[in-house]
Amino acid sequence: MLPITNVSDYKELAKHKLPRMVYDYYASGAEDQWTLRENMEAFSRIQRTCLCKGCSCCRNYNGLIDNNTFMYNTLSSWSSYSIEEVNMTGPGIRFFQISVFRDRNLVQKLIERAENAGYKAIVNGSALAAYYASQVDRSLSWKDIKWLKEITSLSILVKGILTADDTRVAIECGVAGIIVSNHGGRRLDCVPATINCLEEVVREAKCRIPVFLDGGIRFKALALGASGIFIGRPVLFSLAVDGEAGLRNALQMLRDELEVVMALSGCASLKKITRDHVTTESDRIRRSRL
């Protein structure tokens, strides 16, 4: 196996490990894949600033990431492993991502199983592929969030929010959190990159509920107000390449990269990462007009 120097290396290696159809599903996006590309390119247009500000912390940056950080493990309702099987794999904070099927009784039973297994929250997400579309209720609306709140005591997070208007409605419906997501560019092409929508959602949320980002890039997202980041494709590809060892290595690489950037940015803890540490396209346009 080729040496792995970056998490992105796992994607190329996974191409030779996974069946073509499976790899294409994980790696590709909808239609012309514009949104899939834009998700990454939008991040690259955001620049880091304040490098080496307060360099005293650089002498001892190991452990800059707070000890109380933790991983959310979100299990899809389309998983080939059961709620109970995943729960027996070890400790962790688990969310259950539910697709709202037309059969509401099935939805309620799945949520009850998640509750009994100790899952901490429900993520209301979309279906994973057109193959399953006939089973999913396409008339899903905000009233279904209220229905979910009636049948479970678990916290409910809504995934797929991209605008201030939807943020406002989600909060009015009583959700416990928001995941800014365009579903990896897989569901609909030509929608905005998640990172470009993050600040709008964070401003509207006004610290009333946590706002997470579905996208995988850490420092820039935290600087723009994300409470945390969900990671998908790197987990899948590293597991495909080298199982648990691959996943552990990928997560450690992500952690190491974040610690280095924090150190060079003068951030002694996650709470020290602020908006001043990044410059966006809108910042540059605004300054050019002054």
pLDDT value, residue 100:
78
Q: What would the mean pLDDT of 34-48 be, rounded to a whole number?
A: 87
pLDDT value, residue 48:
85
- Residues facing 229 on adjacent strands: 213
Most confident of 21-30, 95-104, 132-141, 224-233: 224-233
3-class SS letters over the chain: CCCCCCCCHHHHHHCCCCCHHHHHHHHCCCCCCHHHHHHHHHHHCCEECCCCCCHHHHHHCCCCCCCCCCCEEEEECCCCCCHHHHHCCCCCEEEEEEECECCHHHHHHHHHHHHHCCCCEEEEECCCCHHHHHHECCCCCHHHHHHHHHHCCCEEEEEEECCHHHHHHHHHCCCCEEEECCHHHCCCCCCCCHHHHHHHHHHHHCCCCCEEEECCCCHHHHHCCCCEEECCHHHHHHHHHHHHHHHHHHHHHHHHHHHHHHHHCCCCCHHHCCHHHEECHHHHHHHHCC
**Position 272, amino acid:** K
pLDDT value, residue 36:
84
Place of tokens 């419906």: 173
pLDDT value, residue 127:
41
pLDDT band at 129 (very low <50, low <70, confident <90, very high): very low
User: What are the C-alpha distances in Å from 129 to residues 69, 126, 141, 187?
Assistant: 32, 9, 19, 8
- Choice between 121 and 39, residue whose per-residue pLDDT is larger: 121
pLDDT band at 68 (very low <50, low <70, confident <90, very high): very low
pTM equals 0.86
- Choice between 55 and 22, residue whose per-residue pLDDT is larger: 22
Whether 183 sits among the annotated catalytic residues: the reply is: yes
pLDDT value, residue 78:
76
d(CA 192, CA 178): 17
Mean pLDDT of the chain: 85
Of 11, 159, 183, 277, which residue is the catalytic one? 183
Q: Assess whether pLDDT exceeds 70 at residue 162.
A: yes
pLDDT value, residue 65:
57
pLDDT tens, 206-247?
Answer: 999 999 998 766 899 999 999 999 988 899 999 999 999 999
pLDDT value, residue 164:
96
Most confident of 16-20, 25-29, 131-135, 188-192: 16-20
